[in-house]
Structure 1
Amino acid sequence: MSDRLEPGEKAPAFSLPDDTGAAVGLDDFAGRKVIVYFYPAAMTPGCTKQACDFSESIESLRKDGYEVVGISKDAPAKLAKFRERDHLTIPLLSDEDLSVHRAYGAYGEKKLYGKTVDGVLRSTFVVDADGTISHALYNVKATGHVAKLRRDLGLAD
């Protein structure tokens, strides 16, 4: 299992393809705050709910100084279908080899239907403008996550 990140640590750098195949990296957000969230699979009910919540909240989050990027192990073509189907407005990045998931501690042992399996841990990280992690949230719930995150960040709903 990967080590979990803690607030105050430097966020691991990454560069991953988005749903169009273009490279998007953490350094593209240098000088800005960014919410990086990891989700298990595009086009599944919980992940759809979470992605739609972030997309619906992106303008208010931007007004509060935050960008958002979602990362999954899905191929860029599947992410493109996900974006199209659900009218998503946030960047979706593909980490097919799970290297970025592991760097963030977002892949490891979890319980699934009573069994212990290795898989993606639904996780969210808030990275400050200087590249430092201010919040590291593991095993978050898909439903209501954005509202809870806004509360944790002290932002109005």
Structure 2
Amino acid sequence: MILRAMFRPGMRAYLIPLVAGMALASSAFLPWVIVGEITLRGVPDTMALWTVGLGGVAAVLAALSLITRKNSRHPLLLVGLIALGIMFLSWRIMPRTVADRALTRSQAVAIVEDRPLDEAPVALVGSGIYLGLVASTVIVGFGLTIVVRRASRTYALVDPDDDV
């Protein structure tokens, strides 16, 4: 009976943040940065652990909304904004940081082996960051539906009694 009530027309929309939260949590286990042929997952990094936690919170909030039929769009908006900020910073910072570390390592190897410096390896953004960006954007978009919603009635001002 509860499972059937979860999928009534009023609450079916919460399947969107449920799937997006699970995708956000799983994005931390995918490659975040690709250097040459080496892929670096996000999991040992602190930002990835936050991403897993925020994805889990979003999925739990959406599941609780499906079960209890209560609105949780404001908390989903907050979780989505935090996750979007983390994923955006990861997208901008992590490839550059990994490229700098790879350049430092290649310089150290060139000095130790007494050979000329090779080109610095190129660091590319992996699929995990892109999936996390898309999932957090979906959660933010779902949370914004409560803010950017048409008012059911217009708020007409009644003539104030200024004579008092």
With the length of structure 2 as denominator, give the TM-score of the two structures.
Answer: 0.23
Query: Greater helix share, 1 or 2?
Result: 2
With the length of structure 1 as denominator, give the TM-score of the two structures.
Answer: 0.24
Query: Greater strand share, 1 or 2?
Result: 1
* Bigger-Rg structure (1/2): 2
